[in-house]
Chains A and B, each alone.
Chain A
């Protein structure tokens, strides 16, 4: 963090997007002592301790909420830490991240929840721990969900793993209703996905890579919709990747189920034809699917079936990615490209409205997790992202500040550059050109 952090900030003449009210308007924003003190035209503020940001031609929106992030801390600090991960987040305009529990040890105890919360006191952005549904993420015993909720867990997930035992999943769902927290579900049927590397289809057979059929997601999504229907649990399907998944979630919601879902920018951006490069940064789970699936995801967003966009930021060391496609680890980093990748597709190509798009990375994920975030409110601690939506940039490996560099977007030209980020009331990121 730089010395700007203590200063008051005046963001001049930006186009403010209020995703909550669905409005946009030109306004100044004045942040005094960390609080969003004033919003309006021609705000006069003076003093040595003032930083002015010229936001003409830029949009000014609430800091983003990324509800699916792997910070790798503790246990895999060579890949990412809470500190480096949150610095990467604010570079991407993100001011709240929900971190997944597959650390070592996993976030399956009160003390681990407290560790994350304490360690994130001084970080660039807010970090909210998602706790494990089962002890050790082993899919056998339910965690102390009540104690974890009281310690400050924002939701429950075994992300990266899927509970195969349907009865256990059902009991987890039932028990979660006692505490009112959302279950964030990674849907994968291992009997189908086992050994698979990329989407099963034309490209997997052409490239000689073992496939992961979309049935792997769909079978478990179907199961969990049935279980949630009976248990009345609040479930959230994360990184939905298939047409079948989107269709089932749509139907379930029409039937009155409390179900939500998110999609990653990489599933919106790529289809499996990109895999002809054998680029291991495109090896992710669930796999990059077919064009038909990708279009279904875009339709899902436009039709309001998909509620949120989340990065599934998954740092991996070079040694895990600079290897054969079969041996490479699954995952791509995504915090720093969350906005640009999704914006390029949805607003650039698909002409989606800005407030509608911004809500997918602000108010909507905040609502799913039941947290107070993703809003622009006078009188509250300022969490704001300023973005130049006209700027186009080629993504380069050197540009990443995340500790790991395994981005699927390296080499892609993306629209939209984060100009600055104000998080926890402080100016924590400012791009070089501003």
Chain B
């Protein structure tokens, strides 16, 4: 059992919760590798995916996770819903609740929306990303990916590179990474940092960290979430922040490159790195993150509803 009924942010996950989720993920990973990828664990439970913002991997990941556990999952799409007809989000929720669902997975473009929903409903709520605030299941699958590669967390040097300020992934990751005893540095230009970053470990150029890093976590450039663009250009980004072959080659043995996806090729990561097939290719764990994402979300659904 988890310490709370809902997963709203990284901060409220206890160390015990995290360990429990990660250890359960192992057995669910095994299910995903079977020929018949289904167990009856959550038969008769109803999960609703409420995605108010576009998503491919997270929505699909939750859907597959629920189905492999035999839960019924409904995809609520705001584009075809009564929200289009002017129904408020609260009224929409009331309608959904009246249908007696067991769990809500929710994504929304406004920070804090998931916490608002959680206050309003009695059933468990899982935050699948809200605005620039939190994306706790991404952080959990990131932890799981790191665990599978390194077998430990304590003392690992992780550098989170890119638009820190606009990233819900970075906010959740930083919290969990530090909770697990990792040494976190943010590599970000001033416009992607809080006004006062004196309490954080900060670098402005990826070259300053690349040789010592165990994990280089590339953030997605959130052009869609920046209301005003202060960063100069892709050329400038390439010079100071992009993962390219030269930088990849400077990373130490065993180190990895992560990205929450979807990758803006040529911005966060070059085509050459994305498509590399040499021995450096095993440093790129982006696809593993997606695979492990299903197992971690199965573990979460199981621990909440099972």
Contacts and interface: CB of A to CB of B under 8 A. Distances in A.
Interface of A: 135, 141-147, 150, 167-168, 171, 174-175, 177-178, 230
A230 B196 CA distance: 9
A142 B240 contact: no
Given A141-B232, A178-B204, A146 B239 contact: yes
B121 interface: no
Given A146-B239, A146-B240, A174 B190 contact: yes
Contact of A171 (B190, B233, B236, B240): B190
Contacts of B223: none
Interface string B193-206: 00100000000100
Given A146-B240, A147-B239, A178-B204, A171 B232 contact: no
B231 interface: yes
B237 to A, nearest CB: 9
Give the interface size bracket for B toward A.
Answer: 10 to 19
18 contacts: A135-B232, A142-B230, A142-B232, A143-B232, A144-B236, A145-B232, A146-B232, A146-B239, A147-B235, A147-B236, A147-B239, A150-B239, A171-B230, A174-B190, A174-B191, A175-B190, A178-B189, A178-B190
B191 A171 contact: yes
Interface in B213-232: 228-232
Contacts of A174: 190-191
Contacts of B230: 142, 168, 171, 175
B195 A230 contact: yes
Contacts of A230: 195
A167 B229 CA distance: 11
B40 to A, nearest CB: 55
A144 B233 contact: yes
Interface in B229-250: 229-233, 235-236, 239-240
A178 B239 CA distance: 14
Contacts of A147: 235-236, 239
A167 B226 CA distance: 14
Contacts of B190: 171, 174-175, 177-178
B230 to A, nearest CB: 5
B235 A175 contact: no
A146 B238 CA distance: 11
B256 to A, nearest CB: 27
Nearest to B193: A174
B231 A142 contact: yes
B236 A146 contact: yes
Contacts of A178: 189-190, 204
A135 B231 CA distance: 12
A141 B204 contact: no
Contacts of B240: 146
Contacts of B239: 144, 146-147, 150
Given A144-B235, A146-B239, A175-B189, 16 more contacts: A142-B230, A142-B231, A144-B232, A144-B233, A144-B236, A146-B232, A147-B236, A147-B239, A150-B239, A171-B190, A171-B191, A175-B190, A177-B190, A178-B190, A178-B204, A230-B195
A141 B232 CA distance: 7
Contacts of B231: 142
